[in-house]
Amino acid sequence: MIKLSGLTDYPAQKFTLVGENKEQIGFLFRYMASQNLLKIDVSYGDFEAKGIILVNSPNLLRQWRNILPFGLMVASIDTLDPIYLNDFTEGRMSVYLLNAQEVADFERVFE
């Protein structure tokens, strides 16, 4: 599990992570001020998912678990979903990249 560090309070943030198998995973985080929510886009090879609403989840990318060799866990210290631009910089929210084994472990626990 790798914590996504470097998230700021900037309303649009684009970055690339390198997964466990040296694959490149692209992320775009966008804050929607009028709706008090964050959306993300994920790209991996030919795969793209756009406009995923960021919510507390053991694996936000679960619906693609048979396609993606990774997952994305979103956690908060107060069980509320991210709604503020500074949720990451203030430490209220954390996002973690999960490897394939961690995704499988979560599947067994939450099945």
Q: How many Å apart are CA 77 and CA 64, to the nearest integer?
A: 26
The pLDDT tens digits along the chain (111 residues) read 889 888 888 899 998 988 888 889 999 999 999 999 999 999 999 999 999 999 999 999 999 989 999 999 999 999 889 898 899 999 999 999 999 999 989 888 876
Count how many residues are written for the chain: 111
Domain boundary assignment for the chain: 2-110
pLDDT at 19: 84
Residues 88 and 8: beta-carbon distance below 8 Å = yes
> What tokens does 83 get?
């709604």
Q: How many Å apart are CA 60 and CA 45, to the nearest integer?
A: 19
pLDDT at 111: 67
Residues 77 and 88: beta-carbon distance below 8 Å = no
Tell me the pTM. 0.90
pLDDT at 79: 86
